[in-house]
Amino acid sequence: MNWKILGGGAAIMLPLVAVLAGGFGKDPRGSSTAMEGQKAPGFSLISIDGDPLALGELAGSPVVINFWATWCQPCLAEHPVLLEGSKRYRSRGVSFLGLLYDDDADTARRWIAKHGAAFPTLLDPGNHTAIDYGVVGVPETFFIDAGGQIFRKHTGPLTFEAMVDALEGMLGDVP
Amino acid sequence: MRVLWLTLVLVFGLVGAPAWAAGGASSGEEADSEAILSAPGIDEPALGDPVSGAVLSDRTNRLARILRCPVCQALSVADSNSDTARAMYVRIEGFVAEGYTDEQIVDYFVDTYGEWVRLDPKAEGANLVLWLLPVGVLVVGALLIGASSRREDEVPPAAPPVAADDPLRARVLAELGEDS
């Protein structure tokens, strides 16, 4: 066995394997928390019922923004969690908003009539607001503190435990 | 030597491809310019001048080729037909038209999506490995090939002269039927 060639090959391959292992070992889209700690991008949108709503109107109170779509099965799975959260945390001043992603108002209205709603859902034509928030896919949920900063971004269907953890952590930060 | 070459080809192919593949991206598509109520975009004044026409189109396409479509697998914004990529294209076009510089626009997407949104990894930190390893492999490979060639060119030392009365020589000559 030629130990020089073996050693040379190992010296070349090991850093490469380390880099690839690091890259393949995580989902770069799923783990992106780039927006956490940043000021929540403002927006002024229209709800599926035709009512205008601006994020600025909720300034000073914590907000939960959930990007979702009717064609998204995980969104259906997390829907009861969001409904429960909006009811439970309303008394603590938390507002919940849904932002429709790649979907239309008629379909969303039918979906909500079937599955229920406890907070407004806003239209985001062109997904411009989703891009401002760095949304990769739905569902994604942003927890915005009373100061307007993104406290946490949750990628994927929200569980009750994850929601409570984020909200309690966020509300605990409020002086 | 074949093992070395195979290793070089494999490593260069694997490492070079992701780092330099973005240069071959094709031209972008026209995106719809559907307007919507306000979204803030870049939270600072534009540092350049507003542009339009061919300059706007060229700069938008160039930026769309270096930014990753977030809902695709290894596709640039320019190469994707997804709604999200088209929306990103429109966003880029709007920023360019307003006079934002390329750096401001790329920084905006890096701020929202993270470093991952760059198709070309920035040459810093752990990413340096991706940029330097192919060069290192080439240098090491060239050195090994050079060393190997020098060894092949070297003339082997001459055999010591055989004495005329060497019994083995006499025997070989006898078997060949030659006289000493």
A13 min Cα distance to partner chain B (Å): 7
Please tell me whether residues B65 and B127 are part of one structural domain. no
Contact at 8 Å (CB) between B77 and B89? Answer: yes
User: At which residue do the structure tokens 């700069």 appear?
Assistant: B59
| Strand, coil or helix: B5 | helix
Please tell me whether residues B53 and B128 are part of one structural domain. no
Residue B62 in any domain: the answer is: yes
Residue A26: per-residue pLDDT: 60
Residue B163 in any domain: the answer is: no
Cross-chain residue pair A42–B40, CB shorter than 8 Å: yes
Alpha helices per DSSP H over B21-126: 53-66, 83-98, 102-113
Residue B137 in any domain: the answer is: yes
Average pLDDT over residues B20-30: 33
Please tell me whether residues B107 and B82 are part of one structural domain. yes
Average pLDDT over residues A34-46: 93
B53 min Cα distance to partner chain A (Å): 23
Number of structural domains found in chain B:
2
Please tell me whether residues B97 and B66 are part of one structural domain. yes
Of A24-28, A127-131, A156-160, B15-19, the range with the highest mean pLDDT is A156-160
The structure tokens listed for B88 are 């990103």
For B78, the domain range is 31-117
Please tell me whether residues B79 and B132 are part of one structural domain. no
Contact at 8 Å (CB) between A136 and B113? Answer: yes
- Domain termination residue (choose one: B117, B143, B172): B117
Strand partners, A150: A144
Contacting residues of B for A130, CB less than 8 Å apart: 84, 87
Residue B169 in any domain: the answer is: no
Residue B140 in any domain: the answer is: yes
Kindly list the structural domains of chain A, giving each domain's residue range(s) and its CATH number in brackets, ordered by start: 1-31 (no CATH), 35-173 (3.40.30.10)
Residue B16 in any domain: the answer is: yes
Please tell me whether residues B72 and B57 are part of one structural domain. yes
CATH of the domain at B106: 1.10.8.640
**Dihedral pair phi/psi, residue B162, rounded to 5°:** -95, 130
Q: What pLDDT, in 10s, does the model give residues A116-155?
A: 999 999 999 888 899 999 998 899 999 999 999 999 999 9
Q: Calculate the alpha carbon distances from B129 to A32, A174, B28 in Å.
A: 22, 43, 30
Residue B16: per-residue pLDDT: 40
The structure tokens listed for A122 are 């806003």
Cross-chain residue pair B84–A9, CB shorter than 8 Å: no
Please tell me whether residues B60 and B137 are part of one structural domain. no
Q: Of all residues in chain B, what percent carry a pLDDT higher than 70?
A: 76
Cross-chain residue pair B70–A52, CB shorter than 8 Å: no
Distance of CA B174 to the CA centre of its chain: 68
Please tell me whether residues B37 and B105 are part of one structural domain. yes
A166 min Cα distance to partner chain B (Å): 20
Q: Calculate the alpha carbon distances from A170 to A1, A144, B14 in Å.
A: 61, 8, 43
Alpha carbon distance A128, A134 (integer Å): 10
User: At which residue do the structure tokens 């026409």 appear?
Assistant: B53
Residue B133 in any domain: the answer is: yes
Please tell me whether residues B54 and B103 are part of one structural domain. yes
Contacting residues of A for B144, CB less than 8 Å apart: 8
Residue B51: per-residue pLDDT: 95
Cβ count near B24 (within 10 Å): 7
Please tell me whether residues B87 and B44 are part of one structural domain. yes
Cross-chain residue pair A136–B70, CB shorter than 8 Å: yes
Q: What pLDDT, in 10s, does the model give residues B29-78?
A: 333 333 345 556 788 899 999 999 999 999 999 999 999 998 888 899 99
Q: What pLDDT, in 10s, does the model give residues B103-135?
A: 999 999 999 998 889 998 777 777 777 778 788
Q: What pLDDT, in 10s, does the model give residues A57-83?
A: 999 999 999 999 999 999 999 999 999
Contact at 8 Å (CB) between A153 and A35? Answer: yes
**Dihedral pair phi/psi, residue A67, rounded to 5°:** -85, 125
